[in-house]
Structure 1
Amino acid sequence: MYKEERLPQNAKEGILFLLIISIISVNTIAPIIMGLERGFSKENYLETLKIIPFMWIIVVLLVRLVAGPLVGKVIPKFAGQTDGFNARVLLNTLLNVTVLSVLLTIIGTWVGTKQISLEPFQNFFHSWFRNFGVAFWIELLIAQPIARFAMKKIHARQASQERV
């Protein structure tokens, strides 16, 4: 069976792939959303940096325990056998970002305000559409391509070592 060189081939590569995407995502999406929410300032950015480690752990857990399994069950219902790599990546990104943005619109507000309240539910649609848009484009244009490029380089290096 053909193995896609732009995707992880084993658990170790899967962890690296997840780390690359999650670190890029949390360090770009969170500051942009906080800037849009509270204004772009040095003070707001420094506040965001304080919550990023917690958000990163939450994101990784949500990807592994919720979004990954859920999207894994849904994708076969929409993706056809003849769909190409780019179509599958786009669908996967769309579904993952949808699940994660719904959950993180709520959880992120709680973490950012350091309290569990009804606020994320009261402002959900306004916040979610914005959060989804930011996250989708960061994932599609920055995080995913960088992670796939890293996998491609790793596999190219492995292939050149096997030839020697």
Structure 2
Amino acid sequence: MHQEKRLPRNGKEGLLYGTIISTLTVLFMTTFSTVYFAGDFNGEIAFSILKMLPIMWIIVMIIEPTIFGRIAESLTAKFTKPTDSFNSKIMFRIVFTVLGMSAAMTLIGDVVGNGFHSELFSNWLQYWPRNFAIVLAAESLVIQPIARFIMVKLHEAQDRKAAVAA
């Protein structure tokens, strides 16, 4: 039976897959947003990014699988058919996940970086479309392919190990 090698097959692999995607996305967007607003990159900015990374990563690792991942799966099932291609299902999943996560993380990132302030919601309206477009491109073109490549290599190694053991 043909098993999909590009996606996790169990919970442990799912955690690895989610960790790869979340880590790369948080690293990319935290760095991008911090440097974008600061205007340049220096030691102080790097330290600021390093302080925010664990906080943002924990938040992402909690809300993606519990809220936005489930919503994305449900919406993907509604907009695709079982006969649709892997790529179409993945693209729907990416779009729906990025839509929710970028909306939430634009707001949460502003709170984590700047605390609660009077321009919180106006900043969200201003920055969310940009964040959505940037993360959608990054996830579609770089981050998700890296995570799927790692899954393929992991499954190939598992298959080789199983073949030797048989």
TM-score in terms of structure 2 length: 0.91
Which residue does the alignment assign to 2:121? 121
Q: Distance in 2 between matches of 1:22 and 1:151?
A: 15
Q: Does 1:106 align with 2:93?
A: no
Q: Distance in 2 between matches of 1:15 and 1:122?
A: 35
Structure 1: any 5+ residue segments left out of the alignment?
Answer: none
* Counterparts of residues 64-143 of structure 1 (less than 5 Å): 64-113=65-114, 115-143=115-143
Q: Distance in 1 between matches of 2:40 and 2:4?
A: 40
Structure 2: any 5+ residue segments left out of the alignment?
Answer: none
Q: Counterpart of 1:78 in structure 2: which amino acid?
A: F
Q: Distance in 2 between matches of 1:97 and 1:47?
A: 24
Q: Secondary structure at the match of 2:9?
A: coil
Cα offsets for 1:11-61 (capped at 9, x unmatched): 110011011111111111111122222323213333122111100000111
Q: Distance in 2 between matches of 1:132 and 1:120?
A: 17
Structure 1 runs (4+) deviating above 4 angstroms are none
Identity, % of aligned pairs? Answer: 36
Q: Distance in 2 between matches of 1:39 and 1:55?
A: 21
Q: Distance in 2 between matches of 1:140 and 1:33?
A: 19
Contact kept? 1:105, 1:127, Cα under 8 Å: yes
Contact kept? 1:25, 1:143, Cα under 8 Å: yes
Q: Does 1:55 align with 2:56?
A: yes
Cα offset, 1:120, TM superposition: 2.7
Which residue does the alignment assign to 2:20? 20
Q: Counterpart of 1:69 in structure 2: which amino acid?
A: R
Q: Counterpart of 1:99 in structure 2: which amino acid?
A: G
Cα offset, 1:3, TM superposition: 2.7
Cα offset, 1:112, TM superposition: 0.6
Q: Secondary structure at the match of 1:66?
A: helix
Cα offsets for 1:101-157 (capped at 9, x unmatched): 0001111100011x2234231122220011112211221122211110111011111
Equivalences, count: 163
Q: Distance in 1 between matches of 2:119 and 2:73?
A: 31
Which residue does the alignment assign to 2:32? 32
Q: Does 1:163 align with 2:150?
A: no
Q: Does 1:44 align with 2:48?
A: no
Q: Counterpart of 2:139 in structure 1: which amino acid?
A: E
Q: Distance in 2 between matches of 1:128 and 1:37?
A: 14
Q: Counterpart of 2:81 in structure 1: which amino acid?
A: G
Which residue does the alignment assign to 1:146? 146
Cα offset, 1:2, TM superposition: 4.5
Structure with greater contact order relative to length (CA < 8 Å, sep ≥ 6) = 1
